């Protein structure tokens, strides 16, 4: 099935309308942020257990995402399905936990049926509802106002604006807690040991660099011809140039070679010290590999000299090393 040309304008208008309605719903939240967020953060920061997120239907899907975001940003969290909680899973929730319940109506039966047990266990309840006068909001220690003027659904039936607002409020709560805890990128890395996030936050330059005999190296008194042999042998597209005291004086790259060939210099008699570059891009061996990738991309170079804390050369790293390590 394809869309008739006559209806394509209508489709675009529908898309723009939905985006505008949901955008306005998010913007409206700014006027309602206040003491409720402060109180919710205080309750969670003082929690000795986990934040147990619950929600039914579409709110449940949003709840799962909020729980995942909380857990990955320093707030231990899990999702419990409210219907399953009524059939035994409420045993997962302890008196040391805090419950974060999502319900646009504020009267979701599967959640309100849990209220007596939560009260008996003296479990703090934080809610995000679309009706601040609802039964669920009234039972909460803190209710966060998630009301919307209208759903993006033209029928006014499918949860759209309301679920978007709930998601934004959950993300905002997670970010406020992250900052309050002083959660760092290193902390984040420990929550993401796998995948691209883990690699970008864990892998350091020293983990993927080339060192020792792999480093292309010639003396300042080496002829250009012999320097080219070293470059070809090591395959980095450059060679480092050292003086007699074993101190790095500069580098000679493929780009330098192209300029020399156009000048008519004799590669057999020209010394590398006379044609090398004394400026080059370098990075610390303790820096993140992702930082090396950023330097390469912004500087339009594909090889970096790696130095230690004493500013002495320790290795060399190229873009292919970062690609092989799945850092970029």
* Cβ–Cβ < 8 Å for 292, 322: yes
| Dihedral angle of Cα 196, 197, 199, 201, to the nearest 10 degrees | 160
Among 30, 26, 78, 28, residue whose Cα is nearest residue 51 = 78
Reported as a single tens digit per residue, the pLDDT across 99-110 is 999 999 999 999
- Residues with Cβ within 8 Å of residue 32, at least 6 apart in sequence: 145
Say what the pLDDT of residue 99 is: 98
Give the pair of three-digit tokens for residue 209: 């660099």
What distance in Å separates the CA atoms of residue 228 and residue 173, rounded to the nearest whole number? 58
Domains and CATH numbers, the chain: 5-183 (3.40.50.10490), 205-324 (3.10.580.10)
Query: Computed from CA positions of residues 45, 49, 51, 55, in that sequence, does the dihedral angle turn out positive or negative?
Result: negative
* Cβ–Cβ < 8 Å for 101, 54: yes
Taking each helix axis as running N to C, give the angle between helix 161-181 and helix 35-45, from 0 to 180 degrees, rounded to the nearest 10.
60
Say what the pLDDT of residue 238 is: 93
Low-confidence residues of the chain, pLDDT below 50? none
Say what the pLDDT of residue 189 is: 64
Say what the pLDDT of residue 186 is: 67
């Amino acid at each position: 099935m394809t869309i008739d040309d006559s209806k394509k304008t209508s489709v675009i208008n529908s898309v723009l309308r939905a985006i505008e309605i949901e955008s306005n719903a998010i913007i409206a939240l700014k006027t309602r942020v206040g003491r409720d967020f402060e109180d919710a953060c205080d309750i969670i920061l003082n929690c000795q257990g986990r934040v147990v997120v619950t929600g039914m239907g579409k709110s449940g899907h949003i709840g799962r995402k909020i729980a995942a975001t909380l857990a990955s940003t320093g707030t231990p969290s899990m999702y419990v399905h409210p219907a399953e909680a009524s059939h035994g899973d409420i045993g997962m929730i302890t008196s040391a936990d805090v419950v974060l319940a999502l319900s646009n109506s504020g009267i979701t039966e599967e959640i309100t049926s849990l209220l007596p047990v939560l009260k008996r266990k003296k479990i703090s309840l934080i809610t995000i509802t679309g009706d601040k006068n609802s039964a669920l909001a009234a039972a909460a220690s803190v209710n966060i106002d998630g009301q919307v003027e209208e759903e993006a659904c033209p029928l006014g039936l499918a949860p759209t604006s309301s679920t978007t607002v709930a998601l934004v409020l959950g993300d905002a709560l997670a970010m406020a807690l992250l900052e309050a805890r002083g959660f760092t990128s290193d902390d984040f890395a420990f929550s993401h040991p796998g995948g691209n996030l883990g690699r970008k936050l864990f892998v350091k330059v020293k983990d993927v660099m080339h060192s020792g005999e792999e480093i292309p190296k010639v003396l300042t008194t080496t002829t250009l011809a012999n320097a080219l042999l070293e470059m070809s042998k090591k395959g980095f597209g450059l060679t480092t140039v050292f003086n007699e005291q074993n101190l790095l004086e500069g580098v000679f790259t493929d780009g330098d070679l192209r300029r020399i060939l156009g000048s008519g210099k004799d590669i057999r008699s020209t010394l590398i010290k006379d044609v090398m570059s004394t400026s080059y891009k370098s990075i610390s061996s303790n820096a993140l590999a992702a930082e090396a990738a950023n330097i390469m991309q912004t500087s339009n170079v594909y090889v970096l000299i790696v130095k230690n804390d004493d500013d002495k050369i320790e290795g060399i790293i190229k873009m292919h090393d970062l690609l092989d390590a799945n850092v970029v």
